[in-house]
A and B are shown apart, each in its own frame.
Chain A
Amino acid sequence: MKKGTLKQILLITDGCSNKGEDPQATAALAYQQGITVNVIGILEDDQTEEPEGLQEVEEIALAGGGVSQLVYKQALSQTVQMVTKQGMTQTLQGFVNTELKQILGEEHTMEDLDPEKRGEIMEVVEDLGETCDLEVLVLIDTSASMHDKLPTVKEALFDLSISLNSRVGRNRFSIYNFPGKRKDIDKVLDWSPKLDSISSVFPKLTSGGITPTGPAIREAMYQFGKKNLLRSFRHNDEQDIENA
C-alpha cells in the first residue's frame, strides 16, 4: 500500500491582517487544493482575554480545514506540535468520513457510530497519521510586533522537527515569512527534511509594518504546487491520501 502525503500550512501570527485579500478566502482556496491551514495566534504576556486582532485566527483555520490555538509565547513549542498533529488527525478523519459517507450514506459520520466501531476506525486514522508523509510550510508573520517573539518561534520550530522526525513517515519542512521585502512572502528555508539549519537563517528576518495575511496564504499555496510540478515531471509518483 502506498501512503499519501499530507500538506499543511502552519501560520504563526500575532495580529490581524491589514492588506490584500481576505485571509479566510485564501485559506478556503488552499483547503480546496488539499492543503490544510493551521493557525497559531501568539498572545502578548499581558493579554488575558481574546483580543480583537486575534479573532480571525479561529476563522482562518476553520476556512482552511485546520486547527487553531491562541497561546502565550512560553507555551509555543508544545502548541506548535499539538496543532500540527491535531491538524493531521483532523484531515485524515475527514478522509475517513468521506469514505464512510460513500459506504453508509450521506448522513453518517464517525460520530454516528457507536464507541466500539469508532475505536477501530480511530486506530486506522492513528496508523495513517504515524506513517504518512507530511509537508509543512511554516508561514511566519514578521510584522513589527512579532519582533520579540521570533526567538521563541525559532525554538518552537526546531522542537517541532524533533517531534515530527520521531514519526515513522517522512517529513518535509519549509519556512516563509511575510511581508517579504518586495513580494508578499520571502523564502527563509527551502523544502528540507529537518529544521536543524534554521539557526543560521533565522536572524536575517527583519520586521516590517504591514500584515498581508491573505496574499501570504495564497503565495504559500503555490509553493506546494511548484515543487509538486517539478517532482511530477521527474517521477510522476505524487499520490493523494485517498488512493493510499
Chain B
Amino acid sequence: MMNKTSKTHDSLLRPGVTILGKWHQNRYVIIRQLGKGAIGSVYLCDANGKKAALKISDKGASMTMEVNVLKSLAKVQGKSLGPSLLDVDDWVTPQGTTFSFYVMEYIRGTSLQAFIKQNGREWIGVFLLQLLSDLEELHEAGWVFGDLKEENLLVSSSPTKVRWIDVGGTTLIGRAIKEYTEFYDRGYWGLGTRKAEPSYDLFALTMVFLSIFYPNKFTKGKNPQVTLLRRLQDVRALEPYRDCLKKAILGKYLTSTEMKQEISMAIHQEQQKHIKANTTRTNKQQHKPLALEVVGFLLVALGYYLSSLLIP
C-alpha cells in the first residue's frame, strides 16, 4: 500500500529528535522506530528517563478512536489487557504540521514463534490458556479484540506471559470489526461475518497458532475451509488441541469460556499420556539392570562350573 502522508512524520522522527506535547507540555526523545502499521508508526522513546512507546500518526480521528479503546480497557479492570496509556497529545512540527500521538507502556518481549521454538511446544497450551483467559475477561466486559494476530502479541518474561501490544482493533460486541488482517479474518476465509462477537476472536486465535507453524502463511485455495483444516491437520505440535482448534475455526464455540474448558481438558489428557509414557519408560529402565544382573550371575555361575570341571 502506498501512503504519501506516512512519509512525513517518519522522515522527521530521527533518533534524538524531541517531541514536545502541545497540550500537556511533556517531552519525549525518540530512540528508534519499533514498528509501522496502517495507522501511524510506533517509536521507542525516552520519557523523563523512562522508556515508553510512542505512537504517532497524521490520521487524528483513528488515533482518537484507539485512545478511546485504551481508556475503556483501563476502566474494564486494573489488570493489563493492553499496554497502559500514559499520555495523549498533539505535536506541532517546526514546519507547522500537527500530528496526534499517544504514549503507552513499553512492553519488552519475544515473538510467540521465537519463544516456542526456544522453549518447547509445551508452551503452546500455556499460551492458549493465557490468551483465552484474557479474551474471556474482555468478552465479558463487552468487547472483542478484533485484530488478533501474531504480530500484535509479545511474550514478556518474569513471569512469562503473552501481552497484547496493539489494541487498535478492539470493537464493541455487536458492531462491525474495526480493523483486521486477512489471514486471521474469518470473513476472508468465508467462514463467517465481520460482526464483533466472541467467536470472531476465537477464530483469529486459532490462526495465531497456525501462523506460528506457517511463517510464510498460505492462501485460501479453491475451498478455503478444506485448505484450513488440512493445514491444521499437518501440524503435529498442535495435535493435542486439534479438535478444539477445529471447533474454533468452524465457529462452534460461542464463548471463550467453553473453549478454555476444552483446551484445559486436552492439556490434562496430554499430561496423563506423558505420565503414562514416563512410567512405562522407567519400568523398562528398571527391567534392564535386572536382566543384566541375571545374565551376570549366570555367567559367574557358569565360570565357577567350568573351573570346577577343570580342577580334578
Could you show 19 A-B contacts with beta carbons less than 8 Å apart? A69-B3, A70-B1, A70-B2, A77-B188, A90-B61, A111-B60, A114-B23, A115-B100, A119-B64, A122-B65, A130-B175, A130-B176, A159-B188, A162-B193, A163-B176, A163-B187, A166-B187, A166-B193, A166-B194
Q: Does A126 contact B (CB under 8 A)?
A: yes
- Measured in the bound complex, the distance between the Cα atoms of B194 and A75 in whole Å is 18
Give chain A interface residues in 133-166, CB to chain B under 8 Å.
159, 162-166
Q: Does B264 contact A (CB under 8 A)?
A: no
Q: Does B68 contact A (CB under 8 A)?
A: yes
Enumerate chain B interface residues (CB-CB to A < 8 A): 1-4, 23, 38, 59-62, 64-65, 67-68, 71, 88-90, 98, 100, 174-177, 182, 187-188, 193-196
Give chain A interface residues in 154-194, CB to chain B under 8 Å.
159, 162-168
Mostly, the A contact residues are helix
A126 close to B65 (CB less than 8 A): yes
Mostly, the B contact residues are mixed
- Measured in the bound complex, the distance between the Cα atoms of B1 and A70 in whole Å is 7
A58 CB → nearest B CB, Å: 8
A236 CB → nearest B CB, Å: 30
- Measured in the bound complex, the distance between the Cα atoms of B182 and A200 in whole Å is 25
Report the nearest B residue to A77, measured CB to CB: B182
A73 CB → nearest B CB, Å: 12
Interface size, chain A (Cβ < 8 Å): 36
Q: For A123, give its contact among B2, B23, B68, B176 (CB under 8 Å).
A: B68
Q: For A93, give its contact among B61, B98, B193 (CB under 8 Å).
A: B61
- Measured in the bound complex, the distance between the Cα atoms of B63 and A93 in whole Å is 14
Residues from chain B with Cβ under 8 Å of A166 in the complex: 175-177, 187, 193-196
B187 close to A159 (CB less than 8 A): yes
Give chain A interface residues in 98-118, CB to chain B under 8 Å.
110-111, 114-116, 118
Residues from chain A with Cβ under 8 Å of B68 in the complex: 119, 122-123, 126
B69 CB → nearest A CB, Å: 10
Residues from chain A with Cβ under 8 Å of B174 in the complex: 168
- Measured in the bound complex, the distance between the Cα atoms of B12 and A27 in whole Å is 33
A125 close to B61 (CB less than 8 A): yes
- Measured in the bound complex, the distance between the Cα atoms of B88 and A163 in whole Å is 30
- Measured in the bound complex, the distance between the Cα atoms of B156 and A51 in whole Å is 44
Residues from chain B with Cβ under 8 Å of A79 in the complex: 1
Q: For A78, give its contact among B3, B89, B182 (CB under 8 Å).
A: B182
- Measured in the bound complex, the distance between the Cα atoms of B186 and A89 in whole Å is 24
Residues from chain B with Cβ under 8 Å of A116 in the complex: 88
Residues from chain B with Cβ under 8 Å of A115 in the complex: 23, 64, 67, 88-90, 100
B198 CB → nearest A CB, Å: 15
A86 CB → nearest B CB, Å: 8
Given contacts A115-B100, A130-B176, A166-B194, 10 further A-B contacts (CB under 8 A): A50-B2, A82-B38, A89-B61, A119-B64, A125-B61, A162-B194, A165-B193, A166-B176, A166-B177, A166-B196
Q: Does A43 contact B (CB under 8 A)?
A: yes
B23 close to A71 (CB less than 8 A): no
B67 CB → nearest A CB, Å: 6
Residues from chain A with Cβ under 8 Å of B1 in the complex: 69-72, 75, 79
Residues from chain B with Cβ under 8 Å of A118 in the complex: 60, 64
Q: Contacts A70-B2, A89-B61, A165-B193; is A119 near B71 (CB within 8 Å)? A: yes
Most central of B60, B62, B64, B182 by chain A CB within 10 Å: B64
Residues from chain A with Cβ under 8 Å of B59 in the complex: 86
Residues from chain A with Cβ under 8 Å of B67 in the complex: 115, 119
A162 close to B187 (CB less than 8 A): yes
